[in-house]
Structure 1
């Protein structure tokens, strides 16, 4: 298949390695790709269960014509080989809780202005919800969406955790596991565009995005998510 138009040489070379690997350890059921056909820049937001998710998410987007710019933890850019690969393929470091956090948002804004696909895990980390449902999202995706007015396409994915468990470092490549990825129509945030970006507006936009992702995941799993969304607060530095 042809590479996405916006992919650079490093991205294409990486895809030649990653795509065969993904097809060797997973089978996939993909749907909703038509919702990714948006004019201009595009935000795609997905749930996050396992450290394999960035690959399943990117595989889905790449094969639908997008070379996603993933928002990734800044610490990953310091890992030998991985960091070089992330920089070469244009991924965006997220400096959480630092004075340079705003730089991540600006880099994503610039990418969207150039018509790029920016991929986000709104939860900011692997879900801590006991049954792997999406937990409360961070408001960064809402701030990005309301600032740029780029469409936000919600994506639910399920099954990658059977290849690599939520906290596991042990890959289970055989037998191949089914990974289902579903994209939905863009989340309607238009009534929030002209309102001040205060805490209430950002939380409302974030919850709409998380609700859309959760509804799609309910359909995949054939179950209902808990009525109250799980809230995880990062332990204080030095806490037991």
Structure 2
């Protein structure tokens, strides 16, 4: 059963939502078409995606741009081969306007997998990325063309200002508030930085927690050797937006940022516990069937 979609929410581009072999579940984004050949035709349409469905870009426009088309054509077939997927709560992604998605960080694959989910639900994500990635010849060129936000950790204020500007122009911003891939051996949440909450408070954008699990089974944290043949289920859960009304009334400052970050940490920890329980039950069921 597909999650309810609001009347004003764009229909996801069918070519991105190619079905996988995992069975459908409640609140999951389902695929309807597997024809990747549409990509070339749709890229030529400029401001329209497949089937003439508009897709909102970071700046609030409806032009995908060449960078995202290239990424889709290259990455989507690989993702189909290396993972199953389980997306829940995707109806909580705003159809338009600014938002901050705050996700836990467990693998170098996280940005790709979260971007896939966001794209499949009618939005183009803008990622906060460290400046060293922008300095790479090929990767850096793609990051700029795709509209991502550069963060120079030696000049934190500049990165924060760029992210705030992106939100005020309508971006859907993906942030990893841990600041790096978790060093917890069990993939647990590390201490969060306050940037995601500060951005949400100062921009007025909703702050939406995102819990994920499974990417580390394809590419373990801090490893360069992917495990390509296990085909694990990558689960991404989108939580309800956090209520920051009282903190916005306090105005920008350390008190509001710290209190909001505690709320975000509590929400993510609870969601990750639920994910662990769900994965444990799924693993037990698989062992029983075998």
TM surpasses 0.5? yes
Structure 2 residue runs of 5 or longer lacking an equivalent are 1-12, 15-48, 50-54, 58-63, 279-290
* 1:196/1:116 CA distance change after superposition, 3 Å: closer
- Out of 227, 240, 246, the residue aligned to residue 172 of structure 1 is 227
Question: 1:222, CA displacement in angstroms?
Answer: 1.0
What RMSD, in angstroms, separates the aligned Cα atoms of the two structures? 1.6
For the residues of structure 1 that align with 2:264 and 2:252, how far apart are their CA atoms? 16
Q: Is the 8 A contact 2:99 2:200 kept in 1?
A: no
Corresponding residue of 2:146 = 89
Task: Structure 1: state its 5+ residue gaps.
Answer: 224-240
| Highest RCO, 1 vs 2 (Cα 8 Å, sep ≥ 6) | 1
Contact residue 95 and residue 122 of structure 2 kept, 8 A: no
User: Does the alignment pair 1:49 with 2:114?
Assistant: no
In structure 1, the residue matched to 2:172 is 117
Look up the match of 2:120. Answer: 63
Question: Are the counterparts in 2 of residues 43 and 118 from structure 1 also a CA contact under 8 Å?
Answer: yes
Aligned counterpart in structure 1 of residue 245 of structure 2, from 181, 190, 200: 190
TM-score by length of 2: 0.73
Partners of 2:117 and 2:269 in 1: CA distance: 18
CA offset at residue 207 of structure 1? 1.7
Matches within 5 A, 1:1-240: 1=13, 3=49, 4-6=55-57, 7-37=64-94, 39-96=96-153, 98=154, 100-222=155-277
How many angstroms does 1:41 deviate by? 0.6
Q: Rg bigger for which structure?
A: 2
- C-alpha distance in 2 between matches for 1:221 and 1:105: 33
Q: Report SS of the residue matched to 1:81.
A: helix
Give the whole-Å Cα distance in 2 for the aligned partners of 1:10 and 1:39.
Answer: 21
Q: What is the CA-CA distance between 1:46 and the residue it aligns to?
A: 0.3
Aligned-residue offset at 1:144 = 0.6
Q: Secondary structure at the match of 1:118?
A: strand
Deviation, 1:130, is 3.1
Deviation at residue 178 of structure 1 after TM alignment: 0.8
Structure 2 counterpart SS, 1:193? helix
Q: CA deviation at 1:67?
A: 1.1
